[in-house]
């Protein structure tokens, strides 16, 4: 089956630093990748959609300068949380859709970010 990995699985950082999270599709090419954020005991909120080689499309209310997304290849998307603050502490989950018009979406295991 299609596998999506995330790295790191957890990270603790100091307030004001930037953190990069990687999302990789291991055995398929992902034209489109998605980033979600999940606060404790809440649902997944879609942050942005990224297509390989183009700028990400951010959902309403998500600061694009705060959450930098790069989808440089068909197997890798990165999310950088810039100048992280404690309120950015959350569970970040990526997902990937293979090919063009693919319906299935495969999820990574998530990255837990804690900002002190």
Partner 1 sequence: SQQGEEDPQALSIQEGENATMNCSYKTSINNLQWYRQNSGRGLVHLILIRSNEREKHSGRLRVTLDTSKKSSSLLITASRAADTASYFCATDSLSGGYNKLIFGAGTRLAVHP
Q: Which residues bind partner 1 (CB under 8 A)?
A: 32, 34, 36, 41-46, 49, 57, 59-60, 91, 93, 95, 97, 101, 103-105, 107-110, 112
* Least separation in angstroms between CB 16 and partner 1: 26
Tokens representing 105?
A: 């979406």
Q: What is the DSSP string of 43-99?
A: -EEEEEEEETTS--EEPTT--TTTEEEEEEETTEEEEEE-S--GGG-EEEEEEEEES
- Give the pair of three-digit tokens for residue 22: 């990687």
Q: Which is nearer to partner 1, 36 or 67 (CB)?
A: 36
Q: How far is the CB of 87 from partner 1 (least distance, A)?
A: 19
The minimum distance between CB 44 and partner 1, in angstroms, equals 4
């Amino acid at each position: 089956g299609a596998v999506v990995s995330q790295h790191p699985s957890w990270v603790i950082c100091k307030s004001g630093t930037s953190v990069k999270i990687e999302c990789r599709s291991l055995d398929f090419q992902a034209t489109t990748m998605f980033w979600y954020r999940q606060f404790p005991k809440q649902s997944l909120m879609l942050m942005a959609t990224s297509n390989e080689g183009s700028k990400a499309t951010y959902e309403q209310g998500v600061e694009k300068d705060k959450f930098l997304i790069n989808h440089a290849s068909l197997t890798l998307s990165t999310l950088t949380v810039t100048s992280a603050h404690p309120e950015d502490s959350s569970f970040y989950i990526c997902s990937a859709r293979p090919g063009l018009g693919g319906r299935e979406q495969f999820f990574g295991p998530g990255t837990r970010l804690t900002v002190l």
